[in-house]
Amino acid sequence: MAIFDVYQMKNLWKGGLFLSAAAIGLLTLWYTEQFARHLRAEEERRVELWAEAVESIVQSDPEADLTLATRIIELNTTIPLILTDAHGVILNHRNLMGPDTTSLGVERELQRMMAYADPIKVQLMPGVEQFIYRNESVNIRRLRAYPRFLLGIIAAYIILAYFGFSRARKAEQDRVWTGMARETAHQLGTPLSALYGWTTLLEEEGASPAALTEIKKDLARLQTVADRFSKIGIEGKGQAGNLSELLHHTIDYLQRRSPGEIHLQLDLPKSLPEVPMQPVLLGWVIENLLRNAMDAMDGRGQVTITAIHQGSKVYVDVSDTGRGMNARTRRAIFRPGFTTKTRGWGLGLSLAKRIVESGHRGRLFVLRSKPGEGSTFRIELPS
């Protein structure tokens, strides 16, 4: 339960941070939109003032001072405007932002302006009217685009930083696990050497041959475990080896030690190509998958190991008739420390995945699994 609590807390933190970031982004966009609406209203008043200036110029006496009205018209250098008569014929335009200033291009821009806002009427004289259509100025468009661009840059930076820190943390964790494994192998070396010496002494003193045989088997097993720990973290593809022989050896070893109602079945083609491998480590991976499969069946069922050669790949599938997994467990099954067992450290599948991917340039993944219908793990190796 503690492992589940840790992952739940981790997911809650991630979810909380994501929601906070989303809230900040939405708040920024909302504030920008409110500011843009305020500027849009200001621009509408400026266009109305521009229309009044046009009316003043047209309706004024010849001797009137039109400096202010003319100045108001000249100061509009950002708001796109199109002037039409009462029948919709385009008379003039200013500040159009598109490169197409042909009659067809101006007509298309007029359609966009009609959809943007209602026109402002210019009363030139009784019975003579013109209409001013407008669109957002370049300043408002830049104001709307800037926070989106800035939030995109920040999001990209955060994502890159997250993946960078995640890779650095994973590399550090790998170094810790590798160091612990090799230190364990080193610590096992001294008592193993002493035990081998004691077996020689027992042979000289005439101890029971049957007992000595069993002791030697257990010592050989401990030596294999020490070799596995010492080789964890070694990069490279290893030497070409016989995969069929390795599978037969692993099945034979575990079949003698499995409960009577669990059956291990090996389904191999007549010939398999050699694969680059480190037999001690790859055997550990297969053994780990088989033990997990047997644990998932609660003492009764069948585990089937199938090998397939396709193209440049060799696939080894380990299928069981056990409990199966739901989607959440499948996503977390290879995480260090994750386990569904009441006892265990949750490192077996994590180390197995690292051995296959780093030491054999292959892949280890859940091919299929469904609650109540068993699971299939697949090892993919280059041939």
Q: Which of these, 339, 338, 342, 365, lies nearest to 352 by C-alpha position?
A: 365
End-to-end CA distance of the chain: 41
pLDDT one-digit tens code per residue, 68-93? 556 666 677 778 888 888 888 888 88
Rg for the chain (alpha carbons), in Å?
A: 38
Indicate the DSSP class of residue 206.
Answer: T
Please, which pLDDT band fits residue 61 given cuts at 50, 70 and 90?
Answer: low
Q: Which two tokens stand for residue 196?
A: 């081998």
Neighbours of 109 (CB within 10 A): 21
Domain 235-382, CATH? 3.30.565.10
Q: Which two tokens stand for residue 201?
A: 């002494």
Taking 3-state DSSP, the helix, strand and coil percentages for the chain, each rounded to the nearest 5, stand at: 60, 20, 25
Task: Report pLDDT for 6.
Answer: 56
Residue 121's contacts (CB-CB under 8 Å, 6 or more residues apart) are 51, 129, 130, 131
Indicate the DSSP class of residue 367.
Answer: E
Cα separation, 264 vs 251, whole angstroms: 7
Task: Give the DSSP per-residue string, 26-82.
Answer: HHHHHHHHHHHHHHHHHHHHHHHHHHHHHHHHHHS-TTS--HHHHHHHHH--SS-EE
Return the domain boundaries, the chain.
Answer: 2-136, 141-225, 235-382
Mean of pLDDT over the chain: 82
Pairing verdict, β 301-310 and 262-267: parallel
Between 186 and 116, whose confidence is greater?
116
Q: Is the pLDDT of residue 299 over 90?
A: no
> Which of these ranges, 3-12, 199-208, 283-292, has the smallest mean pLDDT?
3-12
Task: Give the DSSP per-residue string, 234-290.
Answer: --S--EEE-HHHHHHHHHHHHHTTS-TTEEEEEE--S----EEE-HHHHHHHHHHHH
Please, which pLDDT band fits residue 359 given cuts at 50, 70 and 90?
Answer: confident
pTM of the model: 0.56
